[in-house]
Structure 1
C-alpha cells in the first residue's frame, strides 16, 4: 500500500509540475528532473493509430509500464516513432498512471512510379530510393530520394537532371507517388587544363588522369563524367606519375571544375608544382634488430644509385626487406625509408632503417562499403588476420592487391585503436564498381584464308561478388567457327591457387584440301611464387577430326598423294600435361609503358591418345618509354620453341605461326608445306618442329588527333622462321623445311576502343620464300601478350 502511495505521489508531482507534451518533434522537458526520474506508469494508451497497430507504437517506445523513466527516455521514444516514417506528428503526455501517446499518421504510399527516365532503367532507380509501395509517405525521405536520383544521373554525366514529384490521392489515407525526371543534356567536359607544368605537356598529363575531355565516343566510354571522387583520384594519379619520374617534391596545389551553365560544360583545371628532378644518391640499409645482417638485406634493394628516383622502387625495396625480415622470424620489425636531399647534385640518398617496431596485434578487420563483393573476397587478400602481429608493409601490400583486382573504384585502409593498448583495428573502406562487360570484336584478314571475322563475348571478373572469373565467347568467319567457355576460381580450396577450366570448339575450313574440327578442354591451376613470378600446371585434352578430301571428287588425282593418308581419318586425340612459368612486371595491362612479360612452357603428350611429343616454348616482351613527354613507347619481343616427337608425329602436333607472330604473312603462311605429286594449286601447311621470332616496335600518339580519343600509331619490324618436319608423308612430298628467315616491316593504327583494343596493321614482307602465303593487311583485336 505504501509503494502504491509513493507511485501516485510521483505521478501527481509530474502532472502538477507540468503537462508533458511533445509536438512536431520538439520535447517540452519536465520541470522537476527528480520527479521525472521517479515517474512510473502502469499502462500505455495509443490514440490516432489506424493503419499502424498500437503494438507497433508501443514497441518503439523506450518507456515500459512498471519501470521508471526520464526526459531522455521520452526524447528517445519520440525519435524512434518519427524514425519509423509512419507519423507526421507525435505527442506524449502522462495522465494519472497512464502514458498517453497521440500520433497523426502519414499517408500510405499505394504505388511508386518513375516517369521521364530513358537513360537509366526503372529497376536501377528503384534501387537507389527508399520510398516503397505500402510504405509511409514521408517528405524527408522523398527529398532524399530526389537527391539520390539526381546523383544517379550525375554519375552518367547528366548533372543538370531535375526531379519533381506528383501525388495522386486515392482516399482512405492512400496516395500514388510519381517521381518525374527531366534528364536534361549530357554534362560534358570541354577543357582539361594544367597550370605550372613545365617538364611534361598538357597532352602527356591528360593521358595520366582518369577524367577525359568529351569526344564523339564519350557516350560509350563515360570517361568525361565529372565527379569529386574522380578528381581526387586524378590528383593521386598525377602524384604517382611525378613521384615515379624523379619529382619527389611534386604537389597538386589545387584542382577545380567550373561548370558553365549556359553550355552545360565543365572546365577542369589542375594547378601543380613540379619541383626539382632527382636521381638516387647513396643507398644503404641499417638494422638495429639483433640477428639481422644489413649486408644481406642490401641485395634486396631496387633503388640503385644513379637511377632516376622512383617512389615505386622505394616501395618495392621496403616490401622485399619486410618479407625477408618476417620470414626470419621478426614479425614486428619495421622498415622505414629516410631520404636526404642534395639540392646541388639533384640526388636523394636513401637509408632503409630496420628496427623493432611496437608490438601490436590485429584485433579485427572491419570491411565497409562493399555492396556486392563478399567480405571474404576482401579478407583473403590480407596475409594477416585477427590475432596476428600487425605489420604495416603487409597491410600496404594487401591494399595494392585489392586495387589490382579491378573490383573497386576506390580502396582505403586505415587503422584505429583497439580495446587495449597493443591492439589495432584495421578498417577497409571500398567502393564496388562494374566488373562485367559485353564485347564485340571484328577483324578482317586478307589472303587465301581471309575475310571478315566476328567475335562476341560476355565477361564477368567478379561473378556473384565471389571474385570468380567467367567468360563466354562465340565467333567466326566465312570458313571458321569458334566457341569457348572459361571459368576461374582465384582462391581454390581457400588457398591462393587460381584453378579453372576452359572448354572450346573450333571448326576450320580454311585450308585447301582438308577441313579440321577440334574440341576439348583444359584444366589448370596457377600458384604465385613471388609477387611477379607464378607457375601454372595444365591438363589438356583435344579431339581432332580431319576431312582430308575437303569435298574433292573421289577420282581427283591429288587424293593419291601419300600426304593425305597422314591427315585423313580420325578422330585423333591429344592428351597432354603442361607447365608454365610466368614473370610479369608490366605496369599497365591496357597500355604497357614499362616492364617485362615472359613465359616458358613445357608440354608432354602421351597420356593416352594419339600424340606423343615433348615441346618447350618461350616468349618474352620488354616495354620501355623512349620519350616520356612525347609518350613514345618501345618494345622488343622474342619467342621460340622446339618439339621432339616420340612416335608417329601428326600434322596437328607441329608448330605453326600465326599472322601476329610475323606480320605480313598469313597464319600458317610460312614454314614446311605439302608438295603435291599431281595436280596444281596451293599447298597446305604441315607445320614445323622449330621456330624463332623477334619483333621491335615503337608506338606513339597520332599527330593532330586528341590523345583522349585512344588512337595511337606504331611502326614495327618482324622476323622469324619455322622449319623442320617429323611427319612421315612418304617420299619427297614436303618442301620448306630449311631454316630460312622471313622478315617484314610495317605500320599500325591502334585504337583503345570501348569494345576492346583494335589494331590495323599494314606489313610489307622484305624477305620471303616463293611458296609463302602473304597477307599485307590485317585488322582485328590487338594482343600484347
Structure 2
C-alpha cells in the first residue's frame, strides 16, 4: 500500500471509527473532520513500536494529555510519524480517555552497497543517497536516491546510465540494499554550432562558452559534459561577451541540445541576434538627491563619448556613483543607466539617473551550494550584513569579488521578498571548484658558470581547508649546488578586516663553479590593505641571514693564505666574505585592472616598490623599483592579444657602500634568452655576477590561437621581444676589477607556446639573444607548468 494511501486511511480511521454515545459512557467523542470539535484525553498508549520505542512515537505527536485537540492535530501527528520514515502504517484512535496510537514499523536498512560502478567511487555515491545503514527503508526514498545517482552520472557525461535495486531480507525487520549500476557509455558533444552570428566566427564564440566539443583529451577535462545549467550559463557568457564588445541589443533567441541516441552524442545549436554595434554618444549624470548634483558626480564616469560601448564600464560607473552618494549619507540611493540609441550614426548616449531609491534592508544572507568553502568566507565579500541598507550596486560588487577569488565555477546572487515589504533576502548560489595546484618550472643554463638543468616544483592551495587562506610550498634545485626552499602563507582577512597578512620563509643557495657560494635564509612578514577596488598597498619587513663565501676552486681550503693575512680575494674584499644580516622594510603599491587572472585581454598591472635596509644588520641602502604591463585586444575576431611591459629600478647606499647582494640582478625572468643572473656587471678575472645599481627593461608580446587548431583547445602561440640593461657598481672589489658597468642594452626575440591543458597551464619559450655582451650568460629554452588539483 502506498504511503499516501496509508495516510488517508489513518485519517479516515479516526473520523469514521468515532461513535456517538451518551455522555458519561467513558468514550471521548470525535466528530467528522468537517466539524473539528475539540477533545481531551487523559493518557496516550502506543502499540507496535518495538524498535523505535514508545517515547519516540510520543515525541512526534502534537496531542498532549489534558490538553484539548482537534482532528487537525490528529492529521499533523500522522504526518509527522510518516515523515520520520520509520513507520509503514499509522493509526490513531480514541478509547475512553486514552489516545491509542498503533504503528507498523518499516524495515531497517542493514547495508547499502553499489555494484557495477567504476567511474564514481562508492564513497561519492554513498554521499549522494539518503538511504543509509540503520536507517529506514522506503520505496519513496529509494526512488529519490536512484534519481540522485542518475544526476551524479549525468554530471560526468553518462546520461544513459541504468540503475536498478536489489533488496534482500536478512531477518529481524532488516534488509540489505544494493544499487545495481550499468554506467553505459559517456555521452559526448559532437558539434556546437551558432546561427545568426556575423561579427564573430564560431571558433571565437566557442572559446567564450563553458561547454566544449568532445576531443582526444575530453576524458580529462570533462568540459564536454552537457547539462541544462551549463547551457544557461553559456547563454549568459555569450550575452556578457557581446555586451562588453559594443552590442547592447544582443539576444540569445534559442539554445537547443539534441541527443543522437545512435551515437550517444549531443548536437548543440545557439541561435543569436547580434544587433548593431554601438559607440558611446553623449554621456551625462542627472541627480534628484538633495545636495548632490549631476555635475558633482561627472568625474566618476568611466564611459567616454566616441569609445566602443562596454557594459563593464557602465557597471563600474554605477558602482562608483553609488559609493559616492552612499558616503554622503544616502545609503538607499539608486543609479539607473538610461540609453538613448541613435540608429543612424550607431551611437548610444548614456545618462546615469540618481535618485533616493526605496528604503529596504537586508533581512538575511543565504549561502547555498558551497560544499567546501565556509559560509563566512563568502559573506565577508559583501560590504553589508544583516540589518544594513540594501543597495543593488553592492550586490554587483560582491559578485565580482567572489568570482575573482577563483574558488567557484559559478556565482549567482539573487534576491527575494523578506518578511515585510522593506526586507530583502539575499541568496548566494555558488559551486566550488578545485583551488589547489601543482607546478613545475624548468630551464637550462649552459656554460661553465651555469647551474645546468634547473627545476622547481611547487604545491599551492588558494582556499586552504575552505577558509580562504593561501599556502604555498616550493622546492627547487639544479644539477650543480643550487637549492631553493620557500613556504608562504596568507590570511586574506586578518583580525576580521580586509587586510591580507602573511609570511614567507625561505632558504636559498646558489653557487658559481669558478668562485663563490651564496646562502640566504630568512623570513618576510607582510600585510596588504586595499585602497580602492583597483589599488592596494603592501608593507613588508624582511630579515635575512646571508653567508657569502667561496667553497670552490678558490675556497678557503685551497688558498695559500688565511683571513688573518689581511689579503684580498680576487674580487671580494675580506670584509665581504663571511656571514651578514640584512634587515629591511618596504612598501609596494599595486594597481590592477586586469579582466582575468588566467588569460588577460584588457587592463593594466603595475607595481611601485621602495625599500630601506638599515634597521640593524650589515646592509644600508634605499631601493626604488617599478614595473607595469598593459594588455589590449588587438583583434577581437582573431583573438589577438598584445601586451607591453616596462620596468626600472635604482639603489644607492645610505652607509659606506653596497655589497654584492644589495644590488639588483637581471636575467631571464625579465629578458628571456638569458640566465637568471646573466646580464650586468661581472668580475674580469672570474666572470661572477656583481649585480648593478640601475636597471631598465622593456618587453612586447603578442599571443594568438594556434592556427588550424580549435580555439577551445586552449593552445596559443606567442611572439615576443625583450630588452634590458643593468649597470653601475658600488661594491668594493678589492684588487679585482669589473666589466659591464656601463649602460649597455641587451635584447632578445623569441616565440612560445602556451597550453591551458588538462594537466595545467604549460608554457614553452625559445628566446635568442640578438644583442649581448661576450661575458653574458644565456639560457635559450624555458619550460613551466602549473596543474590544478
CA contact (8 A) 1:535 1:581 kept: yes
Q: Measure, in 1, the Cα distance between the counterparts of 2:272 and 2:341.
A: 21
Q: 1:642 aligns with which of 643, 650, 658?
A: 650
Q: 2:578 aligns with which of 570, 575, 594?
A: 570
**Which residue number corresponds to residue 463 of structure 2?**
462
For residues 682-731 of structure 1, the C-alpha deviation after alignment (integer angstroms, 9 at most, x for no partner) is 61111111110001111101111221221111111111101111111124
Cα distance change of structure 1 residues 413 and 736 upon mapping to structure 2, 3 Å threshold: same
**Which residue number corresponds to residue 542 of structure 1?**
544
Provide the alpha-carbon RMSD of the alignment. 2.5
SS state of the match for residue 205, structure 1?
helix
For residues 641-679 of structure 1, the C-alpha deviation after alignment (integer angstroms, 9 at most, x for no partner) is 010123342211111113131112111111101121xxx
Q: Measure, in 2, the Cα distance between the counterparts of 1:590 and 1:298.
A: 33
Runs of 4+ in 1 over 6 A off after TM superposition: 11-14, 556-560
CA contact (8 A) 1:436 1:458 kept: no
**Which residue number corresponds to residue 3 of structure 1?**
none
**Which residue number corresponds to residue 435 of structure 2?**
436
CA contact (8 A) 2:667 2:679 kept: no
**Which residue number corresponds to residue 663 of structure 2?**
654
SS state of the match for residue 571, structure 2?
helix
Determine whether 1:355 maps to 2:355.
yes
TM superposition shift of 1:310: 0.8
CA contact (8 A) 2:303 2:314 kept: yes
Q: 1:703 aligns with which of 707, 726, 737?
A: 707
CA contact (8 A) 1:621 1:638 kept: yes
Q: Measure, in 2, the Cα distance between the counterparts of 1:364 and 1:173.
A: 45
Cα distance change of structure 1 residues 629 and 78 upon mapping to structure 2, 3 Å threshold: same
Q: Measure, in 1, the Cα distance between the counterparts of 2:228 and 2:424.
A: 28
Determine whether 1:585 maps to 2:597.
no
CA contact (8 A) 1:220 1:754 kept: yes
**Which residue number corresponds to residue 502 of structure 1?**
504
For residues 217-255 of structure 1, the C-alpha deviation after alignment (integer angstroms, 9 at most, x for no partner) is 323322222222221111111101100111010011111
Determine whether 1:609 maps to 2:617.
yes
1:355-434 matches, within 5 Å, as: 355-421=355-421, 423-434=422-433
1:141-290 matches, within 5 Å, as: 141-290=141-290
For residues 322-358 of structure 1, the C-alpha deviation after alignment (integer angstroms, 9 at most, x for no partner) is 1122222222322111101111111101111122222
SS state of the match for residue 562, structure 1?
coil
SS state of the match for residue 19, structure 2?
helix
CA contact (8 A) 1:566 1:728 kept: no
SS state of the match for residue 208, structure 2?
coil
Cα distance change of structure 1 residues 360 and 455 upon mapping to structure 2, 3 Å threshold: same
Cα distance change of structure 1 residues 369 and 425 upon mapping to structure 2, 3 Å threshold: farther
Q: Measure, in 2, the Cα distance between the counterparts of 1:156 and 1:314.
A: 38
1:40-55 matches, within 5 Å, as: 40-55=40-55
Q: Which stretch of structure 1 is more off in the superposition, 713-722 or 106-115? A: 106-115
Q: 2:722 aligns with which of 718, 723, 736?
A: 718
Q: Which stretch of structure 1 is more off in the superposition, 555-564 or 428-437? A: 555-564
- Length-normalised TM-score, structure 2: 0.91
Q: Measure, in 2, the Cα distance between the counterparts of 1:438 and 1:369.
A: 23
Cα distance change of structure 1 residues 572 and 402 upon mapping to structure 2, 3 Å threshold: same
1:76-91 matches, within 5 Å, as: 76-91=76-91
Q: Measure, in 1, the Cα distance between the counterparts of 2:476 and 2:621.
A: 31
TM superposition shift of 1:401: 1.6
Q: 2:737 aligns with which of 733, 739, 750?
A: 733
Q: Measure, in 2, the Cα distance between the counterparts of 1:129 and 1:706.
A: 39
Cα distance change of structure 1 residues 557 and 703 upon mapping to structure 2, 3 Å threshold: farther
Q: Measure, in 1, the Cα distance between the counterparts of 2:75 and 2:83.
A: 12
Cα distance change of structure 1 residues 542 and 511 upon mapping to structure 2, 3 Å threshold: farther
TM superposition shift of 1:12: 12
For residues 488-513 of structure 1, the C-alpha deviation after alignment (integer angstroms, 9 at most, x for no partner) is 11111111111111112223335542
**Which residue number corresponds to residue 15 of structure 1?**
18
SS state of the match for residue 37, structure 1?
coil
Cα distance change of structure 1 residues 599 and 566 upon mapping to structure 2, 3 Å threshold: farther
**Which residue number corresponds to residue 5 of structure 2?**
none
Cα distance change of structure 1 residues 219 and 473 upon mapping to structure 2, 3 Å threshold: farther
Cα distance change of structure 1 residues 453 and 217 upon mapping to structure 2, 3 Å threshold: farther
Q: Measure, in 2, the Cα distance between the counterparts of 1:265 and 1:87.
A: 44
CA contact (8 A) 1:442 1:452 kept: no
Cα distance change of structure 1 residues 179 and 419 upon mapping to structure 2, 3 Å threshold: closer
Q: Which stretch of structure 1 is more off in the superposition, 42-51 or 188-197? A: 42-51
**Which residue number corresponds to residue 522 of structure 2?**
520
**Which residue number corresponds to residue 484 of structure 2?**
482
Q: Which stretch of structure 1 is more off in the superposition, 37-46 or 331-340? A: 37-46
Cα distance change of structure 1 residues 440 and 333 upon mapping to structure 2, 3 Å threshold: closer
Q: Measure, in 1, the Cα distance between the counterparts of 2:671 and 2:355.
A: 54
TM superposition shift of 1:37: 2.2
Q: Which stretch of structure 1 is more off in the superposition, 687-696 or 553-562? A: 553-562
Determine whether 1:473 maps to 2:477.
no
CA contact (8 A) 2:648 2:695 kept: yes
For residues 40-88 of structure 1, the C-alpha deviation after alignment (integer angstroms, 9 at most, x for no partner) is 3333222222211111112112222333333322222222111111122
TM superposition shift of 1:564: 4.2
Q: Which stretch of structure 1 is more off in the superposition, 151-160 or 596-605? A: 151-160
SS state of the match for residue 703, structure 1?
coil
For residues 359-405 of structure 1, the C-alpha deviation after alignment (integer angstroms, 9 at most, x for no partner) is 33333333344343333322222222333332222222222222222
Q: Measure, in 1, the Cα distance between the counterparts of 2:181 and 2:63.
A: 44
**Which residue number corresponds to residue 11 of structure 2?**
none
For residues 542-585 of structure 1, the C-alpha deviation after alignment (integer angstroms, 9 at most, x for no partner) is 22223413255744699974314469743322211110000000
CA contact (8 A) 2:412 2:430 kept: no
CA contact (8 A) 1:673 1:735 kept: yes
How many residues are matched?
757
Q: Measure, in 1, the Cα distance between the counterparts of 2:593 and 2:767.
A: 29
1:764-783 matches, within 5 Å, as: 764-781=768-785
1:307-346 matches, within 5 Å, as: 307-346=307-346
**Which residue number corresponds to residue 753 of structure 1?**
757
**Which residue number corresponds to residue 112 of structure 1?**
112
TM superposition shift of 1:453: 4.0
Cα distance change of structure 1 residues 555 and 361 upon mapping to structure 2, 3 Å threshold: closer
Q: Measure, in 2, the Cα distance between the counterparts of 1:84 and 1:60.
A: 9
CA contact (8 A) 1:14 1:39 kept: no
SS state of the match for residue 320, structure 2?
helix
Cα distance change of structure 1 residues 663 and 409 upon mapping to structure 2, 3 Å threshold: closer
Cα distance change of structure 1 residues 573 and 320 upon mapping to structure 2, 3 Å threshold: same
1:298-313 matches, within 5 Å, as: 298-313=298-313
Q: Measure, in 2, the Cα distance between the counterparts of 1:478 and 1:219.
A: 36
CA contact (8 A) 1:436 1:461 kept: yes
Q: 1:683 aligns with which of 682, 687, 691?
A: 687
Q: Measure, in 1, the Cα distance between the counterparts of 2:630 and 2:415.
A: 39
In structure 2, runs of 5+ residues without a counterpart are 1-13, 22-28, 562-566
